[in-house]
Homo-oligomer: A and B are copies of this chain.
Amino acid sequence: MSAPDGGDRGDLLARVFLSRVLEPGDPAGGRWVRELGAATVARRLREGGPRLAGASDRRWAGLCARAARADPEQDLAQARAAGVRFVRPGDAEWPAQLDDLSDARPTGLWVRGAPSLRLWALRSVAVVGARACSGYGAHMAAMLAADLAERGWVVVSGGAYGVDGAAHRGALGSGGATVAVLACGVDRPYPRGHAELIHRIAQQGLVIGELPPGEHPTPSRFVVRNRVIAALTRGTVVVEAAYRSGSLVTARAARRLGRHTIGVPGPVTSSLSAGVHELLRGGAELVTDAAEVVELVGDMGELAPDRRGPVLPRDLLEADTRQVLAALPARGVVGAAEVARGARTTTDDAVARLYELRALGYAERQGEGWKLTRQAMNSIRPGREER
């Protein structure tokens, strides 16, 4: 990552600054950053000019007013105190698939939670749908998310009431991995009624968002947030959605980005399935269970797991992750709690790292437990290969 001025620290501060000043997904802002670099754009906004192409005088003035109030050093310090980090393009933790958003790519992401966003996002699926879902929708979301988690997939959703909440809870309930993508500051759980759930997600998974600490959600921020869910994951499953539902925005974004667009059918007599059926009639893929989702989003290796090896050499793993890997027995399946004891860490940390190891091809989930992949066994004990 090159920063035209100010060096790497300068780029970091500039991106934190821009995450406060620009609205998420603003394509003009994205173009400025691409053409001039974050530091230059930040300086022009801070200095009040000259105005950049693509912004009206009025809009430019609005941005400059926001720029005058921005304090990236303080934002970073405040975030750090709240256990929140800032991940930007080029960082080791940056999920490269977000680059598919081109000029609508986030300036950076605010991240709460221990796991590596990049590794978790590698094998992730979005499960989204109606806020005012039916019992059927809640059941399907929870069941799909739990089964996806048991198959080693990370469940991404928007933290909202209804389908989103059921999906997060389903994943957490099966000791699985889940990521909430918020349309507000990640220190500010929204909706309020999900404060406890979002706190749990931050403990056991990841809570992420484009907006800096303290920012509120707005209707347009919800819509724009959906492109991040779509871009981060290999596919978006819509469980229930009325016509013109926000989750259809996510599904259409997924299609534009070349991700799988997937729908769970329901009764034709339910208006909450009408949007899903419209999606399915438009070419989305119909699924009835998690196995069918995995069949779509899984790579070739999913069908022949024995042929997938670790994608990162063991020496390049973080030391703590290597500890967790070492705690997996040569044979058989163990629970995350036992792995945690072996690695002298917490269960939440062990789960976080186990899903990272899953993404890297070292470990796989089997029911409630974890085991080494065959390739991992070979790579860990090279002697076996020579027999």
* Pair B286/A286 contact, Cβ less than 8 Å: yes
Kindly identify which residue among B136, B139, B277, B287 contacts A288, using a CB–CB cutoff of 8 Å. Answer: B277
Residue of B nearest to A266 (CB): B267
Task: Tell me whether A269 is interfacial, beta carbon within 8 Å.
Answer: yes
Residue of B nearest to A295 (CB): B281
List B contacts of A273 (CB < 8 A): 265
Contact with B along A279-315 (1 / 0, CB 8 A): 0110001111100100000000000000000000000
Query: How many Å lie between the Cα of A24 and that of B357 in the bound state?
Result: 61
* Pair A286/B281 contact, Cβ less than 8 Å: yes
* Pair B265/A289 contact, Cβ less than 8 Å: no
Task: Tell me whether A248 is interfacial, beta carbon within 8 Å.
Answer: no
Task: Tell me whether A171 is interfacial, beta carbon within 8 Å.
Answer: no
Integer count of this chain's copies in the complex: 2
Residue of B nearest to A289 (CB): B268
List B contacts of A232 (CB < 8 A): none
Query: How many Å lie between the Cα of A177 and that of B249 in the bound state?
Result: 42
Task: Tell me whether A155 is interfacial, beta carbon within 8 Å.
Answer: no
Least distance between A288 CB and chain B CB atoms (Å) = 4
* Pair A265/B281 contact, Cβ less than 8 Å: no
Contact with B along A335-350 (1 / 0, CB 8 A): 0000000000000000
Least distance between A245 CB and chain B CB atoms (Å) = 16
A residues lining the B interface (CB < 8 Å):
136, 139-140, 264-269, 273-274, 277, 280-281, 285-289, 292
Return the 5 tightest CB-CB contacts between A and B, nearest first: A265-B265, A268-B288, A277-B288, A280-B286, A281-B286
Task: Name 12 interchain pairs, CB-CB below 8 A, sorted by A.
Answer: A139-B269, A265-B266, A265-B267, A265-B268, A265-B273, A265-B277, A265-B280, A265-B286, A274-B288, A277-B288, A280-B286, A281-B286
